[in-house]
A = this chain, B = another copy of it.
Amino acid sequence: MSKKEEVSLSVIRRLPRYYRFLGELLSYGMIRISSRELSEKMNITASQIRQDLNCFGGFGQQGYGYNIKELHEEISKILGLDNKIKTVLIGAGNLGKAVANHMDFSNRGFDLIGIFDKNDKIVGKKIKDIQVLHTDNIKDFCNDYKPKVAILCIPKIATEEISNILIASGVKGFWNFSHYDLLGINSDIVVENVHMSDSLMTLSYLVKDIDI
């Protein structure tokens, strides 16, 4: 493990996209592809593809290109998609419910083992075969089951307190949908923010300038 020569985050963020495209090609029954062909499909440069992949070792073969199945599997390994990282979801409102139902956790490296909400109308219900527990039980649950990742689908105002509880309980990674900026200052945790609202504002800017 940890061969770590610090691959840049820009590269890492492109891997899921490669993974998606390769998976699609695979489903079409394609066997091999060159960086040039792939670059045309993905609308990026062939140079970038080769440069990116070489951060992790030589997956290709001169004069031939890349074996799609092999490359797809390699990227899966790099991303850790075959892991089963124990994960809890905090907040089972509209958004939390959608995230729980919509995402294919088991094929993305995660195992959803607990769902929490503070609304008594939701507590006790089942989502994806998991009974929603009250947020008061987070600490005990973490002690018992040691989840490593938490998904935050709670309002900004609750995020600071809840994230502190989770960190104190050993949670190391956050998938954060709240508007609160969970910074990875706390050096040994990692945060992936999904700021949907920021994304929408960006679209607002982009749309302003087109057409009349």
Residues of A bordering B, CB below 8 Å: 2, 4, 12-13, 15-17, 19-21, 42-43, 78-81, 83, 85, 93-95, 97-99, 101-105, 108-110, 148-149, 172-173, 175, 179, 181, 183, 185, 188-190, 192, 194-211
Docked-complex contact A110 and B209, CB < 8 angstroms: no
Whether B196 contacts A103 by the Cβ 8 Å rule is yes
Task: Judge whether B80 and A204 touch: CB under 8 Å.
Answer: yes
In whole angstroms, what is the CA distance A148 to B102 when docked? 27
Rank and list the top 6 A-B pairs by shortest CB-CB distance, nearest first. A109-B204, A98-B98, A16-B198, A192-B203, A173-B207, A16-B201
The oligomer's copy count stands at: 2
Q: Are the C-beta atoms of B181 and A17 separated by less than 8 Å?
A: yes
Q: A83-B204, A94-B102 are in contact. Are A175 and B188 (CB under 8 A)?
A: no
Complex contact B85–A198 (CB within 8 A): no
Smallest CB-CB separation from A43: which chain B residue?
Answer: B183
**What are 22 contact pairs spanning A and B, CB under 8 A?**
A12-B202, A12-B205, A12-B206, A13-B198, A15-B202, A16-B201, A78-B205, A79-B202, A80-B204, A80-B208, A85-B207, A95-B98, A95-B102, A98-B99, A103-B197, A108-B201, A148-B207, A172-B211, A175-B199, A189-B210, A190-B207, A192-B199
